[in-house]
Amino acid sequence: MTGGDDDVEYDWIVVGSGFGGSVAALRLAEQGHRVLVLECGRRFADHEHARSTWDLRRYFWAPSLGLRGIMRLSLFRDVFIATGAGVGGGSLGYANTLYRPNDEAFYEAEQWAGLADWKSELAPHYDTAEHMLGVAEYGPPGVTDELIRTLGRDLGVEHTFRMTRVGVFLGEPGVEVDDPYFGGEGPRRSGCQRCGACMIGCRHNAKNTLVKNYLWFAERAGATIVPEREVTHLRPLDERGKPDVDATGEHGWQVETEHPGAWLRRRRRTYRARRGVVVAAGALGSTRLLLRQRAQGTLPRLSDRLGHLVRTNSESILAVTAPGDGHDFSQTVAISSSIYPDPHTHVEPVTYGAGGGAIGLLSTLMVGGGTRVTRPLKFLGQCLRHPIRLAKVTWPHRWSRRSFLVLVMQSHENAIRLVARRRWLRRGISLRTKQDAGHPNPTFLPIANESAMRLAKMVNGIPQSSLTEALFNVPTTAHLLGGCTIGRDRDSAVVDASHRVFGYDRLLVVDGSTMPANVGVNPSLTITAMAERAMQLVAESERSDDPVS
C-alpha cells in the first residue's frame, strides 16, 4: 500500500456515507473498531453548497465533466434516476422527509417473509433513527399544503392529509444555538429559514444531514472519512494476506480505489480491512459495484439474483406551474405535507426554493399514458396545439417560485433489473435495465396525472409530465431501491436477514439496495432503521466471537 491514508490497515471499511454507510460508520466506531469510510463525492461545508441549480459545477455530479456537486442523474432504458453524491450521501440533497411505511404490505413482502416479524423487529430501530435524524412535524401549513388538503377533499380522502415529519431544526429562523438534539454534544445549529432550497443543499445549518449527526459522532469516535474515492475492486484475502478469487473474505479484504472522473491521473490507492467491508453506496452504486466484481471475476460467488428486483418506489414526478409572478411556492421546506388517495398511493408537493430553475428543464407539457411510440407522438401533438403553454413551462424565469413538483409513489409490487455488460473500449462495465417479466415497472400512473391536473386547475396553472416520460415513456424516480435484496438463500437473494452477502465472509450490504419491496413513502427513515438493526446484529456477533461469518 502506498501513500497518505492507505498506509494503515483498518478493522472495517465502509463504502459510501449515506443513510446506511453513516450508521455503519458510527456503530462500528463506537465498538472501538478502526473504521474507514470511502466516499465517491466531495465534502461540502454548508456555505459551499450551490445557491442555484444553475451552478452546474457545484450542484450536479458528473466528475469526468468537472461537475462535482450533490446530484447525480442517470438515464436508462426503463428509468431516469436521481441519486446523491458527497459526504453525507443522499442526505445532502434529499427532501428531509422521514416517514414510516403506511402500508403493511412492505413488512409482509414475499421477498423477506418468514425471516422475521419485520414490523416489530424494526420498530425500536425506527425510534433510534428518528432520534438521530431529529424528526419533527413541520408547520404551520403553507400555500402548497392547503392545495394538497383541497386535493384530498376533492378526492374524498381529506382525512389522510398530514404535515410532513422532517429532519430539520425548526428553531427560531436564522438564530444559531447550541446543539438541540444530543445534550450539547452535537454541532451548533441554526433555525430553518423556510427558503425551500433543501434539495439544492442547505446553506443555513438547519437541515439535519448525516454530517450533523451520524457522521459527526462517527468521526469523534475515531472513524476516518476519505472523500473523492471511487471503489473499483473488492478482493478477498487468503491466509497469507494475498488477494485470491477463491478466498471468501475470512482473512480480510483489499479495497482498491481511484479518483472519480479522472481522465489520466487516477491516483489509485489500496486499503485493507482486517475484519470486514460494508458496502453502502446506495441502490445504484452498490449494485453497480458488485455487478462489476462478478463480471470481472473478482467475486465469482455472488448470487445470480444480484441486480434483480430493483424498485423505483413506483414513482411518478410531475409539476405544476402557475401563470405570471403572482405565486410563490418556495417559502417552505422541500416537502411539507401529503395525502393518500388510496392505501397504496402517496402524493406530496415538492419545492426547490427560489434557485431551482434548472430543474424546470426536466418537465414539459403533460401527456397521458401510452407506449414508447405513442407517447412521443402525443407530446408532439401537445407542443403543436399549445406552443404558448410550452413556452411558459420552458421559460426559466422564476420557474421554481411559480412552480412546484408533484411526487407520487406507490407500494405496489413491480420491479426492473440491472444488468452488467463489459465495455470493449473502456475499463469496467456499463449497466442497462430490463423490465421484470412478472411485475413490470409502470411508466404511467393515472392517479399522478389526475392529481397534477386538479392542482393545476386550483391555481389556473399548467400541469406537466417529466421530460423523460413524455419523450421516451421512461418514468423518473428519486428513490431507487433493491438490487441486492434480502432473502432466504443464495438462490433467491443477495444478502441474508443480517445483511451478510451469501457466499462470502465479513462482507455486508447495508443501504437501500437490500430493500425487499417498494415502501410507498420516502425511504430514508426505513433505510436508516434497517441499517441500525444490521449494525446491532454485527455487534452481537462480535461479542459472541463469530464476526459476521
Residue 342: its H or E element: strand 337-342
Q: Pairing mode, if any, of strands 224-226 and 35-38?
A: parallel
Nearest CA to 433 among 446, 416, 449?
416
SS3 labels along 21-79: HHHHHHHHHHCCCCEEEECCCCCCCHHHCCCCCCCHHHHEEEHHHCEECCEEEEECCCC
**Cell numbers at 301, concatenated:** 460467488
Is 476:317 a contact under the CB 8 Å cutoff? yes
Query: DSSP letter at 488?
Result: S
Residues forming beta bridges with residue 321, ordered by sequence position: 403, 462
User: Cα–Cα distance between 341 and 161 in angstroms, integer?
Assistant: 10
User: Cα–Cα distance between 238 and 36 in angstroms, integer?
Assistant: 21
Is 155:341 a contact under the CB 8 Å cutoff? yes
- Helices 524-543 and 118-133: crossing angle in degrees, nearest 10, is 110
Residues forming beta bridges with residue 127, ordered by sequence position: none
Work out whether the CA dihedral 395, 399, 404, 409 comes out positive or negative: positive
CA dihedral 148, 149, 154, 156 (to 10 degrees): 120
Residue 377: its H or E element: helix 374-385
Residues forming beta bridges with residue 464, ordered by sequence position: 319, 365
Place of cell 452498490: 286
Q: Pairing mode, if any, of strands 61-62 and 507-509?
A: unpaired
Select which of 327, 412, 479, 499 is catalytic: 479
User: Cα–Cα distance between 387 and 406 in angstroms, integer?
Assistant: 23
Q: Is 479 a catalytic residue?
A: yes
User: What residues have CB less than 8 Å from 374, skipping those under 6 apart?
Assistant: none
Is 249:505 a contact under the CB 8 Å cutoff? yes
Q: How far apart are the first and last CA of the chain?
A: 26
CA neighbours closer than 13 Å in the CB half-sphere of residue 464: 29
Is 516:485 a contact under the CB 8 Å cutoff? yes
Residues noted as catalytic: 479
